[in-house]
Amino acid sequence: MADRLLRERGGKPTGKNWVDNFIKRTPELRTRWSRPYDHQRAVCENPAVFRPWFTLVQSIKEKYGIADEDTWNFDESGFMMGKISSQLVVTGLEKPRKQKKLQPSDREWVTLAQGVAATGRVIPPFLIFAGKVLITSWFADLPRDWIITVSPTGWINNDLALAWLKHFDAHTKASSTGAYRLLIIDGHDSHCSVDFQDYCKENKIVALCMPPHSSHLLQPLDVVPHSLLKRHYGDGISLLARSRVYHIDKETFLPAFKAAFKKTFTLENVRAGFRGAGLAPYNPGAVLSKLDVQLRTPTPPAPGTVAWEAQTPRLAYRDIRIAKVISAEISAIVPFADWLG
């Protein structure tokens, strides 16, 4: 718009920094990042997809007599051992350079497989390191009920998912209030293996899989605890880096992780995850109110009707206001004609 106005008045085109400078000196304007949104996630973020999920959860709990005490969520969360969290660093004006935090060198992958209940109960963590053998010195100072194991990649697989399920069963069966337990899971392949499903059936564990691409809204662990855990862990690693600890091995990782785990998995945070996912207390609106992306197929126009009719955009007043601001800016460069009337 600015270049067109200048061209019409015989002026020179704007410079490459004009837009940035214009925004900085114009308080009426501000910039905002436009973030790409995954199409599959957008397709699933539809009330028509989410409402049946809540109906299913409620009907399963009623059918099997499952209380909140026996409603569980299982999910994995991955960590790079040396990854620190990003933080805002405030400095004096005499040091305008961009502040840097040295990233510890070890980027080995670790997976946490975790189970939590709607009442806030947390079973001991199940950690998977990349490797082939376990060294007892790694976990000498950990609680005895923590499970530490290995896989070639540090990711969970079918065998380890089954091992976690047995770990879950051992820590929840005796304390369950009813005959059945509900285990809410995502669609990871390891959760759908024949052995995993058979063990659930044999031990009265009702495994309920969420709709695809929905865990960020429907999975209690994703809604609150896992994001907090990564932040607290990253903060701990950042403190180590400031103390000139630049290599994070397993023996360094575990104390930092233990502190972050204890800080994260509180009764309040776990309950907040279930509350945010609309599961405990049962409140589908907690999620449905967040669904601001809906994909619709346009309805074809009826025969004999005009396919499109020009209308005033809802935000046209904003465009006019911006145009006036730009025209005022141009006036400082080229004599201004009263083009807006």
Q: pTM for the whole thing?
A: 0.69
> Which pLDDT does position 42 carry in this prediction?
55
In a domain, 224, yes or no: yes
pLDDT average, residue stretch 211-229: 95
> Which of 54-63, 128-137, 289-298 bottoms out in mean pLDDT, i.e. has the lowest?
289-298
Query: What is the identity of the amino acid at 318?
Result: R
Residue 280 pLDDT exceeds 70: yes
Query: Are 105 and 192 part of one and the same domain?
Result: yes
CA angle 170, 174, 175 (to 5 degrees): 110
CA angle 235, 241, 245 (to 5 degrees): 130
Query: Are 26 and 142 part of one and the same domain?
Result: no
Structural tokens at position 147: 């499970």
> Which pLDDT does position 138 carry in this prediction?
78
For a pLDDT cut of 90, what percent of the chain falls above it?
A: 50
CATH code of residue 277: 3.30.420.10
207 vs 105, more confident = 207
Residue in 161, 168, 159, 175 with CA at minimum distance from that of residue 205: 168
Query: Are 67 and 132 part of one and the same domain?
Result: yes
Q: How many CB atoms are closer than 10 A to CB 74?
A: 24
Query: Are 110 and 245 part of one and the same domain?
Result: yes
Query: Are 271 and 138 part of one and the same domain?
Result: yes
With cut-offs at 50, 70 and 90, classify the pLDDT of residue 82. Answer: low
Contact 184, 219 (CB under 8 A): yes
SS3 for 126? strand
Domain end call among 246, 264, 288 = 288
Query: Are 108 and 183 part of one and the same domain?
Result: yes
86 vs 10, more confident = 10
Query: Are 15 and 112 part of one and the same domain?
Result: no
26 vs 94, more confident = 26
Encode pLDDT of 170-216 as tens digits.
Answer: 999 999 999 999 999 998 889 989 999 999 999 999 999 999 889 99
For 148-157, b/e burial (b = at least 16 CB within 10 A) is: bbbbeebbbe
In a domain, 324, yes or no: no
Domains of the chain: total: 2
For a pLDDT cut of 70, what percent of the chain falls above it?
A: 68
Please, what's the largest Cα pairwise distance for the chain?
Answer: 84
Domain end call among 267, 288, 309 = 288
Query: Are 12 and 138 part of one and the same domain?
Result: no
Residue 341 pLDDT exceeds 80: no
Query: Are 23 and 103 part of one and the same domain?
Result: no
Task: List, in order, residues 6 or more apart from 322 with CB less than 8 Å away.
Answer: 28, 29
**Residue ranges in the chain assigned as alpha helix (H):** 2-8, 18-24, 39-44, 47-64, 158-172, 194-202, 215-218, 220-223, 225-242, 250-264, 267-276, 285-288, 316-331
Provide the CB-side half-sphere exposure for 169 (13 A, CA): 18
Regarding beta strands 181-185 and 71-80, do their DSSP bridges make them parallel or antiparallel, or are they unpaired?
parallel
In a domain, 297, yes or no: no
pLDDT average, residue stretch 122-134: 94
In a domain, 43, yes or no: no
Q: Name the DSSP class of 210.
A: P
Residue 69 pLDDT exceeds 80: yes
Query: Are 78 and 11 part of one and the same domain?
Result: no
d(CA 137, CA 147): 14
In a domain, 252, yes or no: yes
With cut-offs at 50, 70 and 90, classify the pLDDT of residue 310. Answer: very low
In a domain, 340, yes or no: no
Exposed/middle/buried for residue 32 (C-beta within 10 Å: 0-12, 13-18, 19+): exposed
Domain end call among 244, 271, 288 = 288
pLDDT average, residue stretch 121-131: 96
> Which pLDDT does position 70 carry in this prediction?
99
In a domain, 108, yes or no: yes
In a domain, 300, yes or no: no
**Separation of first and last alpha carbons in the chain:** 17
Provide the CB-side half-sphere exposure for 249 (13 A, CA): 5
Query: Are 115 and 8 part of one and the same domain?
Result: no
Give me the domain span that covers residue 3: 1-31
> Which of 1-15, 47-61, 205-219, 234-248 bottoms out in mean pLDDT, i.e. has the lowest?
1-15
Residue 6 pLDDT exceeds 90: no
pLDDT average, residue stretch 217-229: 97
Query: Are 126 and 8 part of one and the same domain?
Result: no
Helix, strand, coil percentages, rounded to 5, for the chain = 40, 10, 45
